[in-house]
Structure 1
Amino acid sequence: MSDMIKIAVDAMGGDNSPKKVIDGIILNHKSNKDIFFKIFGDEEKIVPLLQKKIDKNFYEIIHTKNVVKSTDSPLEGAKRGKDTSMWLAINSVKNKEADIVVSAGNTGALLVIAKLNLKMIENIDKPALSALWPNKKNMSVVLDLGANIECSSKNLLDFAIMGASLYTSLYPDDKPNVGLLNIGSEELKGNEIIKETYKILNDKKSDNYNFDGYIEGNHLMDGNVNVIVSDGFTGNVALKTAEGTANFITEELKKAMTGSLIGKISSLLNISSLNKFKKRLDPRLYNGAIFIGLDSPVVKSHGGTDFIGFSNSLDVCHRIVRGNLIKKIKQNI
């Protein structure tokens, strides 16, 4: 038991919970036998879903009927009290009873409750919301995705260090390239904060990452840059645009393949290539945004994902803890 990773799971957050959360746990358990799940939520709903699916040595249920609703404002979610499944899950990380916490619930409430319960890592002023994006070669870490609308150059520098630490905890064999998201690749482009951050990153030599300068939105998927740094406003717009484009492409492909007879025949001929392409753009594979900057990592699973997506967010938790993310950030900062 001592070498097991303990994941605190808010079982009641997001669409179709707790079923999708429990099904995600069951799926994940098939490939990860070194995780102990601390499951927070309504026992009456959870027990029938879990019974006989997983050995009792791998989980415990902490019962509560109180939940943060998806319609709550962040403050309303926090005011629901200390016995909501979300609050209790975060609190178990604070009390060192779990290594990491994951929830598919209300994002704003999760960030507020996490900030109320967990300390910031020393010398970091603001936590950031980061996520994994597919690129042509592998994956990129992108941050901030909406936790901080306005950022100083110090914040952006912190994001670069935290993003690089996250990348190396997920991919221990790679040294990441860090890029600043901007409206052009020339040094003169962008606002004063971006230019100032560029100068600091360019002058600061780091053993943990290479600074690659500016990156424009149309090069996010090239794969030459592994860590993309931005303020939360720009990052969120970029994320939503990329998600929307991916959905548009897959929907249009579906239409083309199921429309005319020629479309159906050509799709049969290209079925394996098309399936590979569709799988590459499957948002469930990249599910699990990471709230970093606090002294314990908090993972946010997409509220609308299914059990496969939730299982992938548990994988992200597993890799973060095994990769010693918090220790890496503390060393690098």
Structure 2
Amino acid sequence: MSNLIKIAVDAMGGDGSPKKIIDGIIHNNKSNKENYFKIFGNKNEIEKYINNKVDKSYYEIIHTNSIVKSTDSPLEAAKRGKDTSMWLAIESVKKKEADIVISAGNTGALLVIAKLNLKMIENIDKPALSALWPNKKGMSVVLDLGANIECNSKNLVDFSIMGAALYKSLYPNEIPNTALLNIGSEELKGNETIKETFKILNEKNSNNFKFDGYIEGNELMNGNVNVIVSDGFTGNVALKTAEGTANFITEELKKVFKGSILGKISAILNISNLNKFKKRLDPRLYNGAIFIGLDSPVVKSHGGTDFIGFSNSLNVCNRIIKGNLIDKIRDNI
């Protein structure tokens, strides 16, 4: 156990928990024997799903009496008490009993409880919510996705450094290109905060990343930029737009191929290409937003994902710890 990566899991958050969460752990354990799970939640329910499916040397269950509800406001969640599965999972990271924490529960509550329990990395003013997005050449890290509606230039510079550190943790052999999400690629475009950030990053020498200026919304998926930085308002709008567009394309293709005999024949003839397309846009592959800037990493799994998606976010946890994310941020900030 001492050489395993210890992941604190809030088993009671998200749709279909704890079954979906436990099924994700079972699925992950089949292919990855590097993870040890500290599972927080209703012990009777958890045991019902995990018994005899995962060797007991890979997990322990910590019984909790209450849970953070999806309908709780962040303040209500914090007031609900320190005996919730989410609070205790985060606290185990604070006490160094786990390396990283993951929850599929209430996002606002997770951010607030994490900030109450964990310290900020020195010289970081605000934590950011980041995630992996697919592009033509692989993956990009995008941040902030909603933790901070308003940001100053110092925050955006910090996000650039943290995003690059995250990318290097996940892809250690690459030096990422970093860009600011803006309404144009020209230097004079954008508000004063963006322009000031551009100036700072343009003059900053970093071994951690290459600054690539501005990127527009229609270029997010071209793969030339690995770390895309914005304030939380803009980033969240971009995220929801990208998700909605992907769902729209997938649903429209389904209609086309199911709508007529010719469509069904075309679907059969193109089944291999369609499966590749479907897999490329499968949101389960990119599940796992990372709350960075705190002195321990916190991962947010999408509440509506299935057990495959949750298992993939456990892989993200593994790669973050093996890639020494927190040390990389400290070294570069």
Please tell me whether residue 58 in structure 1 is matched to residue 58 in structure 2. yes
Q: What does residue 169 of structure 2 align with? A: 169
1:214-293 correspondence runs (5 A): 214-293=214-293
Q: Distance in 1 between matches of 2:175 and 2:222?
A: 17
Q: Distance in 2 between matches of 1:110 and 1:79?
A: 13
Q: Compute the displacement of 1:123 (Å).
A: 0.1
Q: Distance in 2 between matches of 1:44 and 1:118?
A: 29
Pairs aligned (count): 333
RMSD: 0.4
Q: Compute the displacement of 1:117 (Å).
A: 0.2
Q: SS at 2:242's partner residue?
A: helix
Q: Compute the displacement of 1:330 (Å).
A: 0.3
1:314-333 correspondence runs (5 A): 314-333=314-333
Give the aligned residue type for 1:231.
Answer: D
Q: SS at 1:272's partner residue?
A: helix
1:20-169 correspondence runs (5 A): 20-169=20-169
Q: SS at 2:71's partner residue?
A: coil
Q: What does residue 3 of structure 1 align with? A: 3
Q: Distance in 2 between matches of 1:275 and 1:248?
A: 17
Q: Distance in 1 between matches of 2:29 and 2:215?
A: 39
Q: Distance in 1 between matches of 2:239 and 2:169?
A: 22
What is the CA deviation profile of residues 120-150 of structure 1, one whole-angstrom value per residue up to 9, with x for unaligned ones? 0000000000000000000000000000000
Q: Compute the displacement of 1:65 (Å).
A: 2.5
Please tell me whether residue 301 in structure 1 is matched to residue 298 in structure 2. no
Q: Compute the displacement of 1:297 (Å).
A: 0.3
TM-score by length of 1: 1.00
Give the aligned residue type for 1:81.
Answer: G
Q: What does residue 181 of structure 1 align with? A: 181
Q: Distance in 2 between matches of 1:315 and 1:240?
A: 24
Q: SS at 1:156's partner residue?
A: helix
Q: Distance in 2 between matches of 1:199 and 1:292?
A: 24
Q: Distance in 2 between matches of 1:121 and 1:20?
A: 33
Q: Distance in 2 between matches of 1:31 and 1:268?
A: 32
What is the CA deviation profile of residues 169-203 of structure 1, one whole-angstrom value per residue up to 9, with x for unaligned ones? 00001100001000000001000000000000000
Q: SS at 1:36's partner residue?
A: strand
Q: SS at 1:173's partner residue?
A: coil
Give the aligned residue type for 2:131.
Answer: A
Q: Distance in 1 between matches of 2:61 and 2:290?
A: 24
TM-score by length of 2: 1.00
Q: What does residue 198 of structure 1 align with? A: 198
Q: SS at 1:228's partner residue?
A: strand
Give the aligned residue type for 2:105.
Answer: G
Q: Compute the displacement of 1:2 (Å).
A: 1.7
Give the aligned residue type for 1:290.
Answer: I
- 5+ long unaligned stretches in structure 2: none
Q: SS at 1:190's partner residue?
A: coil
Q: SS at 1:61's partner residue?
A: strand
Runs of 4+ in structure 1 deviating by more than 3 angstroms, as ranges, are none
Give the aligned residue type for 1:184.
Answer: G
Q: Distance in 1 between matches of 2:32 and 2:75?
A: 36
Q: SS at 1:39's partner residue?
A: strand
